[in-house]
Structure 1
Amino acid sequence: MTDRGFGRRQGKAHTSLRPVAAVLVALPVAALIPVPFYNRVSPRVGGIPFFYWYQLSWTVLGGISAWAAYALLKKDECRRNASRGDEEGDWTRGDT
């Protein structure tokens, strides 16, 4: 049986993108937890109180950040596979 070097980095070292993806996922949650921060009426945008448009904007931003986290995780997976010599799952070609 050959030693595949589990637990050790081989070749070119890559910085993991997983912590960045974790921050992107946690950001919308952390922004919506402190309700007293956004529990107010002003400023209004188009007549809509701050309480509502703040939450609605984080719904959109949360979707964007989830997509960005997914893209970073796929890129990180591709990097890890390439560093191991595994050519399967090149996310830029659309293969999974």
Structure 2
Amino acid sequence: MVTPVRVVVALCLVAPFVAMLWVSSYAKADPAFIGIPFFYWYQMLWVLISTALTMIAYTLFQREQRARKAARAEGGARS
């Protein structure tokens, strides 16, 4: 079942792949950051961003699963 939460989870998980596969957007040396070429610090920045997005996706998915399980249990208790 497609829900808005699952769409957000999918976007969080797909964004790093799109960013890393679009090589022409970061295949350059400038602007350098503390002497590190853009190519390298951009990729390292995406390691941190990917971690944050994965944590967000996991949290949202777990929250939705708990809510769905609680709704199922509540619906079964009424019957």
Give the TM-score of the pair, scaled to structure 2.
0.84
Cα deviation, residue 16, structure 1: 4.4
Structure 2 residues without counterparts, runs of 5 or longer? 75-79
**1:27 aligns with one of 12, 15, 25:** 15
Correspondence list, 1:44-59, <5 A: 44-59=32-47
Which amino acid in structure 1 is aligned with residue 50 of structure 2?
Answer: G
Structure 1 residues without counterparts, runs of 5 or longer? 1-6, 8-14, 87-96
Report the 3-state secondary structure (helix = DSSP H, G, I; strand = E; otherwise coil) of the residue aligned with 1:84.
helix
Higher relative contact order (CA 8 A, sep 6+): 2
Cα shift readout 1:20-71 (whole Å, capped 9, x = no counterpart): 1110000111111011110000001111010000000001110111111000
Match of 2:27 in 1: 39
* Poorly superposed stretches of 4+, deviation over 4 Å: none
Aligned equivalents of 1:27 and 1:36: distance in 2?
16
CA RMSD, 1 decimal: 1.6
Match of 1:75 in 2: 63
Rg (Cα) greater in structure: 1
Across the two proteins, how many residue pairs are aligned to each other?
A: 73
Give the TM-score of the pair, scaled to structure 1.
0.70
